[in-house]
Amino acid sequence: IAGITQAPTSQILAAGRRMTLRCTQDMRHNAMYWYRQDLGLGLRLIHYSNTAGTTGKGEVPDGYSVSRANTDDFPLTLASAVPSQTSVYFCASGDSVSNEQFFGPGTRLTVL
């Protein structure tokens, strides 16, 4: 099947609006991650979840929130978007045996 899916593929958003990026995996991985990728910078961890029902803050959590109600879904919410949140957002899940992370196709978000 798909592995990891993300929606939307891209979005243009007015500053101040609320936005939820969706992420779903079908590999039954316990760990899931949200990263942002900006030109010239490495992937930066926003939030993570080691298992359903738990979440943690990464390197750049401010302005973002997550929830993990079940194993498959890990949505990322921007409560009030700002232009500095313009980025490409990748969701990933982690295989606890190999430590490999598998990435979704990404969401390109532009905040104007």
Partner 1 sequence: GQNIDQPTEMTATEGAIVQINCTYQTSGFNGLFWYQQHAGEAPTFLSYNVLDGLEEKGRFSSFLSRSKGYSYLLLKELQMKDSASYLCAVMDSNYQLIWGAGTKLIIKP
What residues line the site for partner 1 (CB under 8 A)?
Answer: 35, 40-45, 48, 58, 90, 98-106
Minimum Å distance from CB 13 to partner 1?
A: 20
Closest separation between CB of residue 100 and partner 1, Å? 5
Q: Which residue's CB is nearer to partner 1, number 46 or number 81? A: 46
Q: Which is nearer to partner 1, 14 or 40 (CB)?
A: 40
CB nearer to partner 1: pick between 13 and 102: 102
Do 107 and 75 form a contact (C-beta atoms < 8 A)? no
H/E element holding 51?
A: none
Q: Which two tokens stand for residue 99?
A: 């430590």
Hunting for tokens 């990891």 — which residue is that?
A: 4
Taking the least distance from each CB to partner 1, the nearer of 14 and 98 is: 98
- Cβ–Cβ under 8 Å, residues 17 and 36: no
* CB 80, min distance to partner 1, A: 27
The Cα–Cα gap between 61 and 76 comes to: 11
Give the integer Cα–Cα distance in Å for 102 and 86: 23
**Shortest Cβ 11–partner 1 spacing (Å):** 16
